[in-house]
Chain A
């Protein structure tokens, strides 16, 4: 089966300039630095990582909102890396985006019906009447009242606004949707509603989804495969259960161990790797393995030789690390077994009593 979307060695460097009139380039921000991935039709691929790891830039490269510095992007087997925006236009029907902030990504001066129908108008699909019917149809599909066709964005709550963003994305019947932190701005009770909606739409419409988030629990819930990014590179790529059961890359391990879980005593029952210091600047990323400056397992070779992203044990679990985490190490980091938690709690209770 050919991948619907394929990226090879994707690189995006943004110039850092000084001066007002005669801009002088001082250096480059290495936002994305050699990302290769493929998305199969019908698959949901998660991209997860912290601020500045390049996940949003990757999303914008995949949808060709940005042109990569080097590398290759293939959509349905066709190389679209350097297509002009005009040439890309027909493709935009098939590839849509959902953004994080439903406040700034929707035009406040247009009625929502017009906002949702805009992609149809741009692509010249149907008559005015057809479009109106299609918009109403899509509105009710995402859980909005079609009678609110003529309302404005400010009249909707955050969760409803994200539904408007989703309606706009699916109105052209796309094949691929790239969702950049679509639930991060929402309250937890609303987040679950929107995640369920995305899941239902994906299954019903056979959508392929690239889902970008900083939230590891959300990514685990929704995705078929998860790519973990650090400083512009993918450090680990695996199916969610394998990734969360046994992370191979020490960064993934640290990330997972840092997520607080709502269970009493859970943080005391597991070993947490607290990473010291901050993420290094992407202007001058560390040599070789970029994580070596903060990695608890780093050795001399890590600063000299860059580890390739390669299969560890199973062919579907890739990691870029010279000294991947062992089973025992991963075990200690994992969100703990409830029985262990209960044990530690009983111990602390008896300590308090004694």
Chain B
């Protein structure tokens, strides 16, 4: 089946006072209908800009965008603003990390959901209200008929995120872009929200593009994973492959640097040394080479292509496949010995 959303060779740059920021540097991704693609990366990896660009929210005077974003074959990047507005909200919706700043503080929650409906469909205010209440019920908000008359500041963080999800899904979009949807929430609330997104996804067959820095969240939600670093996808594959047999040194570093509840305590953490690169003057060759423990001379000069290492596993690294497997096995043995 054809993917619902295809991103082809996306480049996004921003002109700033300090220079040209290469935020997204040739990203290609497919989102399967009804599936979940997790994009994992740290701040500055370009994961959020990718999501925003799909929504057409980076159409700014200082931005240059190239490539293709195909929704069922229609290129969103070439659409006129009016046509894009018809699609945005109706066929692609987005939720953000901070629900308080995405809700209008002066309007009641119900009114804001009704507005989303009325922007796309000619329905009576009464019918819009009924659908808003129904949407709030579907995100498990208790007594939704009273909830519609509350203002955002009266709600807890979890309730606000539920309201945002209700607003995003009320028109039954094909694609939901969730940009760090649980990062601002406590873990117990995070568990509620992740469960909610998964159950709504099953119900409405919405495809989800989940953007997060948390590999634990990825493990619970995604089928496919793309690891981003400095504007590029460095590794991509099914969830099991990325967590069990990763082949990029950055993915290894990510998995090994976090303290984990599922393994015995270790004496010391193993951080990735150095700091994330500048996107104005990115390192030559492989962007990860200054922090990579396995760097070779060619990494400094030659850009590794994102190439298949296995049927559905793509990796951008100059290390040979046998070498990668040998190193990863070694790292796992080290892990087992430490615990």
List residues of chain A with CB under 8 Å of any chain B CB.
50-51, 157-160, 187-193, 195-196, 199, 214, 216-218, 220-221, 240-241, 244, 254-264, 266-267, 272, 274-276, 278-279, 335-336, 338, 345
Contacts and interface: CB of A to CB of B under 8 A. Distances in A.
Given A187-B276, A189-B42, A189-B257, A221 B269 contact: yes
A196 B268 contact: yes
A188 B157 contact: no
13 contacts: A187-B43, A189-B42, A214-B186, A217-B261, A257-B191, A258-B188, A258-B191, A259-B187, A260-B214, A260-B217, A266-B220, A275-B192, A335-B261
B164 to A, nearest CB: 16
B262 A338 contact: yes
Contact of A192 (B159, B191, B257): B257
Interface string B120-144: 0000000000000000000000000
Interface in B157-182: 157-159
Contacts of B216: 259-262
B239 interface: yes
A187 B213 contact: yes
Contacts of A195: 259, 269
7 smallest CB-CB distances across A and B, nearest first, come from A260-B216, A192-B271, A262-B215, A335-B262, A189-B272, A221-B259, A50-B186
B237 to A, nearest CB: 12
A156 to B, nearest CB: 10
Interface of B: 42-43, 156-159, 186-192, 194-195, 213-220, 239-240, 243-244, 253-255, 257-262, 265-266, 268-273, 275-276
Which residue, of B157, B159, B265, has the highest number of chain A Cβ atoms within 10 A?
Answer: B265
A261 B275 contact: no
B328 to A, nearest CB: 15
Nearest to B240: A264
A192 B158 contact: no
B202 to A, nearest CB: 15
B243 A262 contact: yes
Chain A: interface secondary structure?
helix
Contact of B219 (A187, A189, A267): A267
A51 B184 CA distance: 10
A196 B271 CA distance: 8
A276 B259 CA distance: 27
Which residue, of B192, B217, B258, has the highest number of chain A Cβ atoms within 10 A?
Answer: B258
Contacts of A191: 257-258, 271
A153 B129 CA distance: 50
Contacts of B257: 188-189, 191-192
Given A258-B191, A274-B195, A187 B42 contact: yes
Contacts of B240: 264, 345
Given A187-B213, A244-B261, A345-B240, 7 more contacts: A159-B275, A187-B42, A193-B271, A221-B259, A259-B261, A261-B219, A275-B188
Contacts of A196: 268-269, 271
Contacts of A266: 219-220, 262
B208 to A, nearest CB: 16
Contact of A220 (B156, B255, B259): B259
Contacts of B266: 221
B308 to A, nearest CB: 21
Which residue, of A188, A218, A266, A335, has the highest number of chain B Cβ atoms within 10 A?
Answer: A188
A157 B262 CA distance: 31
B219 A255 contact: no
Contact of B188 (A217, A221, A274, A336): A274
B42 A240 contact: no
A254 B188 contact: yes
